[in-house]
Amino acid sequence: MIAIDGQKRFEDARQRFESVLASELLDDLAIFAKPDFFDEVPLYSRFSQVEFLESYGDVDSILIELALAYLQRVADAVRLRSRRFVAMTVTDCPDDEFLTPSIFVCNTSAREKLSTLQLQEPSAPFTRRIEQLVKQTKSGAGFQVMEDRSLSSEEVRVFVGFESPPRGILRLDFRIGRQQTPRTGQT
C-alpha cells in the first residue's frame, strides 16, 4: 500500500468508503449478477463523497486500492455460466480532479459486445500513471493494465483487469491475437 500507513488506517478508510458505495447502491453486489448486465458503473458520483480520503494520503492512490478491492469482491460474488468481462476502468480527467474509478461488467456475449474496444499496451502518460498506482497497491502484481483508444484519439480510458482471472472471467487481452481462443482463468 502506498498512501496509507498501516492496515488499521486502510481499514478505516475502506469502512468509510463502504458508506459511499452504499449511497451509490453498490453495496449489494447482486446488481452485477443479472445474466444480461452490461454497464460501466462509477464508484462515486460527486467529488465531495471522497474528499475525506485526503486525511489518509494521496486520494488517487487510495481510490485505486479501494477500487481494486471492490473489483475483487464483484468477481468473487458473481458466478455465471457464461464467460464474463470484468474490469476496473478510469478515464483521463483534469489534473485538479480526483480519479473516478468505475466497474465495467459484461456478463454475456462479451467478445461480440466489446468488439469495438481498442485495448493496447500502456503508452499514454495517463495510462502509465494508473499502471504505477496499480503496481504500488498491495495487490497490484495480480493485475493487468491496458488502454482503450476507441472513445477518441485524444481521450484514454484505462482498463485494469486480473492477470490470472477467476474462472469464467476473460483477461483484458482476450482480443489481442487470441480472438479464437481467449485466455480465461480456467486451467
Burial class (CB in 10 A: 0-12, 13-18, 19+), 187: exposed
Indicate the pairing of strand 38-42 with strand 85-91. Answer: unpaired
Which of 51-55, 137-141, 179-183 is predicted least confidently?
A: 179-183
For residue range 86-98, what is the model confidence (pLDDT) as tens digits?
999 998 877 778 9
**Most confident residue range from 93-97, 107-111, 122-126:** 122-126
63 and 99 in contact (C-beta within 8 Å)?
yes
pLDDT of residue 175: 61
In this prediction, residue 143 carries a pLDDT of 93
Give the pLDDT band (50/70/90) at residue 110. confident
Cβ-based neighbour number of residue 26 at 10 Å = 20
Domain limits, the chain: 7-28+35-175
| Digit-coded pLDDT (tens) for 38-76 | 999 999 999 999 999 999 989 999 999 999 999 999 998
The answer to whether the Cα torsion of 117, 165, 16, 131 is positive or negative is negative
HEC-encoded secondary structure of 52-65: HHHHHCCHHHHHHH
Angle, in degrees to the nearest 10, between helices 7-23 and 59-77: 70
Q: Which residue has the higher pLDDT, 96 or 179?
A: 96
* CA atoms within 13 Å, Cβ hemisphere of 8: 0
Q: How confident is the model at residue 153 (pLDDT cuts 50, 70, 90)?
A: low
Confidence category of residue 114, pLDDT binned at 50, 70, 90: confident
Q: Which three cell numbers stand for residue 39?
A: 454497464
Q: How confident is the model at residue 179, as a pLDDT?
A: 39
Lowest mean pLDDT among 24-33, 126-135, 149-158: 149-158
% of residues, the chain, pLDDT over 90: 48
**In the chain, pLDDT over 70 holds for what percent of residues?**
88
Task: Pull the grid cell for residue 126.
Answer: 495517463
Residues pairing with 138 in the sheet: none
